[in-house]
Structure 1
């Protein structure tokens, strides 16, 4: 099985603070992983290390079988799609939805190139796949938060990445819009040419059945990693959150409540 990511004994320090501590993690092709942790647990720092925006203080990293130090990181990033709120805030709000999507082909904020007919066909295909083709012609600022997230995923996919990072994509969405977005992600993951997905969250119920692997991050360390059914248990999550919790399963998803809360 081809390795997408291999991280061995990675640490990252900023001044006196050790933000990542002895991280060991391997992601293989065809696996979709969830990364679960509270705010400040090191999730975003780990993503920045994987994409080469932060260089580890110690340890080794290889992505797509190429070791950091022997690969052009700019080329590496063309193979990785990253959907995050920080990217959304940088985009031009007056650009039309389809321009937002096609600009991902050129990795630019704003559209300064001249896409050809095949590019526009790909834009329509992706927008249709993600259920947002009806947004064509609309400005980005006029779209809802859920619609913007779908457009950002389409923008990431147009460059045909081998790895797609979804960094808390449901943040700020209401219950119903969240479920619509999760359904679109599930459809994407089940497609024949789907990239490897990393889904970052601090809500267990967002971890869809297509994510069969998960790591729990706490205070810069991987607390536990493995098959979702072995990781998202009442006993383990009580230990992880350092508070008593109950875990309930429904349709392959895991729901978390403080222990004793019977709502």
Structure 2
């Protein structure tokens, strides 16, 4: 079991942000977490990564029951890619040094990397088609290039769980598809990490993702295999308006139904 969340509720002041969340992710699965803005996605991620403690419930990640382990050690096996991280990184650092810093999950590089680390960072640059970016300042990269560097940074520590928090935000169509193709590469690796992909765009759910959890108003609306969750009936109920679902190249594309567009 990669992730086992049982009856997790989180309250902030008098407001319930998450309510009775149950979610299990197994080693042969890659999941998408879908929710509209304000649905509680980021709050749930912070609990999974051990940055926020639930008001009640139980969290077990990679066989580690939270409350009985050193969360700092657990986080070394979790890669988290988020646009929020961009603001924390030093813009003058080269893309190569940003990737190397992922080995210790630090903001900035404060130790001399080993020859093995240097080789791994160079290989990641080549794998993701970013070799030309090696010595460019992180602040001079495009949004798409930054996201590729952040994913490579997360992979430096060989995480067992990789969380991609809305990585396509702000990308144009071509950059988005290039990034999604890179994510498919990661999913295809025999010993690669389990992926949790967070989005509010159904069309970003790639064929490599096996399951989807729909989060609505802080509660699980639906969770299960994609062919059961990504249906017109269930998505219409989730979004609160009639939607049509078309499938092409293993992906689902939605549009508003006639009743919703009148």
- What band does the TM-score fall into relative to the shorter chain? over 0.9
Matches within 5 A, 1:1-263: 3-260=1-258
Cα displacement (A) at 1:73: 0.4
Q: Could you list the per-position Cα deviations for residues 105-152 of structure 1 after superposition, in whole angstroms to 9, with x for gaps in the alignment?
A: 121111111012111100011111122122111111111100100000
Matched residue SS, 1:105? coil
Instruction: Calculate the TM-score normalised by the size of structure 1.
Output: 0.97
Q: Could you tell me whether the CA contact under 8 Å between 1:4 and 1:63 is conserved in 2?
A: yes
Q: 2: CA distance between counterparts of 1:17 and 1:169?
A: 28
Provide runs of 4+ in structure 1 moved above 3 Å: none
Q: 2: CA distance between counterparts of 1:104 and 1:66?
A: 22
Q: Could you tell me whether the CA contact under 8 Å between 2:64 and 2:74 is conserved in 1?
A: no
Q: Could you list the per-position Cα deviations for residues 176-196 of structure 1 after superposition, in whole angstroms to 9, with x for gaps in the alignment?
A: 100000000001110112100
Cα displacement (A) at 1:215: 0.4
Unaligned runs of 5+ residues in structure 2 are: none
Q: 2: CA distance between counterparts of 1:88 and 1:189?
A: 24
Q: 2: CA distance between counterparts of 1:133 and 1:76?
A: 31
Aligned residues between the structures:
260
Cα displacement (A) at 1:26: 0.5
Matched residue SS, 2:227? helix
Q: Could you tell me whether the CA contact under 8 Å between 1:130 and 1:188 is conserved in 2?
A: no
Cα displacement (A) at 1:30: 2.2
Q: Could you tell me whether the CA contact under 8 Å between 2:164 and 2:196 is conserved in 1?
A: yes
Alignment root-mean-square deviation, CA: 1.1
Q: 2: CA distance between counterparts of 1:163 and 1:241?
A: 29
Unaligned runs of 5+ residues in structure 1 are: none
Q: Could you list the per-position Cα deviations for residues 55-88 of structure 1 after superposition, in whole angstroms to 9, with x for gaps in the alignment?
A: 1101111111121111100001111000001111
Q: 1: CA distance between counterparts of 2:95 and 2:223?
A: 38
